[in-house]
Amino acid sequence: DQQVKQNSPSLSVQEGRISILNCDYTNSMFDYFLWYKKYPAEGPTFLISISSIKDKNEDGRFTVFLNKSAKHLSLHIVPSQPGDSAVYFCAASGGNTPLVFGKGTRLSVIA
């Protein structure tokens, strides 16, 4: 049973446009959500996070939106750049539990 779901395995976006990556979760005990960026043969690197007490967190070109009632979060990247091309993982945590990851979405930003 997958507690964190990223239903889009891939996404292609033109440079300069907005990239929207989606993530759904099922466990209502999750109270902290994170997005990681991963290049092939490398470990994930932290991108941005959001606590369940907020509905939006912004950091430069990256904004994460949380809709608790829908158990849905999304990562917006604007404007998208070719260097943003990578696999993006959504992760969730509840209390002191280890992170639970989605399957990832491969973003390709086309110049």
Partner 1 sequence: GAVVSQHPSWVICKSGTSVKIECRSLDFQATTMFWYRQFPKQSLMLMATSNEGSKATYEQGVEKDKFLINHASLTLSTLTVTSAHPEDSSFYICSARLGTVAGYTFGSGTRLTVV
User: Using the rule CB under 8 A, is 9 a contact of partner 1?
Assistant: yes
Q: Under the criterion CB under 8 A, does residue 41 sit at the interface with partner 1? A: yes
* Minimal distance, residue 16 CB to partner 1, in Å: 28
Maximum separation of any 2 CA atoms in the chain, in Å: 41
Q: Which residues, in sequence order, are CB contacts of 38 under 8 Å at separation 6+?
A: 44, 45, 86, 87, 88, 89, 104
Least Cα distance to 71 among 18, 21, 30 occurs for 30
Give the residue, chosen from 21, 23, 44, 84, that forms a contact with partner 1 under the rule CB under 8 A: 44
List interacting residues with partner 1 (CB under 8 A).
Answer: 2, 4, 9, 32, 34, 36, 41-46, 49, 89, 93, 98-104
